[in-house]
Amino acid sequence: MKKKVSKVIYKKVSKKITPILQKLGFLPWFTKGFEVFFALELLLHITMPKVITELGSGRSTHTISYFASSKQTTFISIEQNYFFHLKNKISFKFGYLNTKHLFHASIVNEWFDLKKINKIPNIKKTELLFLDAPGGAGKKVGRRDSLVALKFVNELHDLQVLVVDDYHREEVKNSTDDILLTRKDETHKFLIKYSEEANQLLIVFFNKEQAEKFEKLSNELCFGDISLSNYEWNKKYL
């Protein structure tokens, strides 16, 4: 009887504490499967961007950092959560990766502190932008559909590829639509569904040749249970 009561109490306490520990960066949460990182590596090698900016550090930061180091590409990864930022720095040290790629910027006016991030060398020359943050909705945690966010992305005039995580969220869909509406470039979109909860990663090319190459190679190289399809053409999820 005592064991059953203890288990019930443990579950209740754990349910309340776990999200807090995750936000602080002490506990891991769901991450993408290898399929997404396979697609990301393929994307990087096809596009060969000279400057990559990632908003929201995590497992993808390591993948991009390996690429950037081998190709002498400028890589900027910005994290809003200071504990996550420190966690990444430590993991980079153990993984023999250069921590110069990692930056911390708090949320100011629903977006990353522009005074701070605009001082980062070459950020305005970004060719590939990976949007995986801010991580919530509201002034304290930031919003991806804020006017400040839209202005920041629109000022990246060299942008060739946009990668958006959490595309299944309404706020993120809205912000992405707003970004694409303001661009005159022809867009080619690929959608990857990477979990049973319907988590989605969107890849948008502004270069038709690169998009066609990505589609061709992904179809040739991916395993049987992975497919990448241009959802603008056939409305299929991956």
Q: Write the CATH number for 151.
A: 3.40.50.150
Q: Tell me, yes or no, whether 12 and 63 share the same domain.
A: no
Q: Tell me, yes or no, whether 156 and 132 share the same domain.
A: yes
The predicted pLDDT at position 233 comes to 33
Q: Tell me, yes or no, whether 50 and 141 share the same domain.
A: yes
Q: Tell me, yes or no, whether 52 and 141 share the same domain.
A: yes
**What pTM did the predictor assign?**
0.82
Q: Residue 9 is part of which domain span?
A: 1-30
- Measure the CA–CA gap between 136 and 53, rounded to whole angstroms: 19
Number of domains in the chain: 2
The predicted pLDDT at position 7 comes to 57
Q: Tell me, yes or no, whether 200 and 185 share the same domain.
A: yes
What would the pLDDT profile of 204-226 be if each residue is shown by its tens digit?
999 889 998 888 887 777 644 44
Fill in the amino acid letter for 208.
K
Nearest to 132 by CA among 120, 117, 144, 145: 144
Cis geometry, peptide bond prior to residue 134 (ω within 30 degrees of 0)? yes
Q: Tell me, yes or no, whether 40 and 18 share the same domain.
A: no
The CA–CA distances, whole Å, from 92 to 96, 98, 110, 159 equal 6, 7, 28, 27
The predicted pLDDT at position 35 comes to 74
Q: Tell me, yes or no, whether 22 and 41 share the same domain.
A: no
How many Cβ atoms from other residues are within 10 Å of residue 96's Cβ? 7
Q: Tell me, yes or no, whether 20 and 94 share the same domain.
A: no
Q: Tell me, yes or no, whether 79 and 137 share the same domain.
A: yes
pLDDT (tens place) for every residue of the chain, 238 residues total: 555 656 556 566 666 665 555 555 555 555 666 778 888 999 999 999 999 999 999 889 999 999 999 998 999 999 998 988 998 999 998 888 889 999 999 999 899 999 999 999 999 999 999 999 997 555 567 888 889 999 999 999 999 999 999 888 888 998 999 999 888 778 888 888 777 666 788 899 998 899 988 888 877 776 444 444 443 333 333 3
The predicted pLDDT at position 225 comes to 44
Q: Tell me, yes or no, whether 37 and 121 share the same domain.
A: yes
Tokens 């005592």 correspond to 2
Q: Which residues lie across from 111 on neighbouring strands?
A: 108
Which parts of 98-160 are beta strand (E)?
102-104, 107-108, 111-112, 128-131
Map residue 223 onto helix, strand or coil: coil
The predicted pLDDT at position 222 comes to 61
Q: Tell me, yes or no, whether 107 and 221 share the same domain.
A: yes
- The 3-state secondary structure of 26-73 reads CCCCCCCCHHHHHHHHHHHHHHCCCEEEEECCCHHHHHHHHHHHHHCC
Q: Tell me, yes or no, whether 157 and 190 share the same domain.
A: yes
